[in-house]
Structure 1
């Protein structure tokens, strides 16, 4: 199992829309997340900085292939077309990144 965390900025004018979308996430999106071996997925919001932190556990055998399967899914693409305009990548992301990956520096079960 891998634990992953990532961060992105939430555009303040889109905050209510983003919260509304996630309060009623589409069943097809939830099924795709599960099919791609993601478990215990949470997104946290830090105000007033408007930072989103996503955290999840990956329980599969090929993370890159599962993430590509998610990216190729038409329903996921429709979902991202709604959620991506709500977000702004951090200035420090590498080319091609949307959410900035975070390093785990401590964990305790």
Structure 2
């Protein structure tokens, strides 16, 4: 199992919409996450910053993430959630900027 964290900014005018969407996350999207070996997925919000955390328990993270990105229902979900977010200038290649884990304690 490996832990992943990433960040993205939340557009202030989209906070209510983003909260509403995630209060009723689509079962098909959640199922795709599970089938891609992603568990304990959480998103936290603080002062306009979204922090996501998940654990990947599979053998091939890149393939599992690619399966999520190829899923039509997930693409529909992202079409709603992505406009709520603002990418980091230092990470133009990804909606969510990956973070480096610098400390962990079990």
Where on the TM-score scale, by shorter chain, does this alignment land: which range? over 0.9
SS at match of 1:92: coil
Q: Which runs of 5+ in 1 are unaligned?
A: none
How much has 1:72 moved relative to structure 2? 0.3
Cα RMSD, aligned residues only: 0.7
Q: TM-score, normalised by structure 2?
A: 0.97
- Report the equivalent of 1:41: 41
Matched, 1:87 2:85: yes
Per-residue deviation at 1:91?
1.3
TM-score normalised by structure 1 residue count? 0.95
Q: Which runs of 5+ in 2 are unaligned?
A: none
Give, in angstroms, the shift of residue 67 of structure 1. 0.6
SS in 1 for 2:17: helix
What's the secondary structure of 1:7's corresponding residue?
strand
Number of positions where the alignment pairs a residue of Structure 1 with one of Structure 2: 106
Counterparts of 1:96 and 1:52, CA distance in 2:
18
Taking the TM superposition and a 5 Å limit, the aligned residue runs for 1:18-97 are 18-47=18-47, 50-93=48-91, 95-97=92-94
Which aligned runs of 4 or more in structure 1 are off by greater than 3 angstroms? none
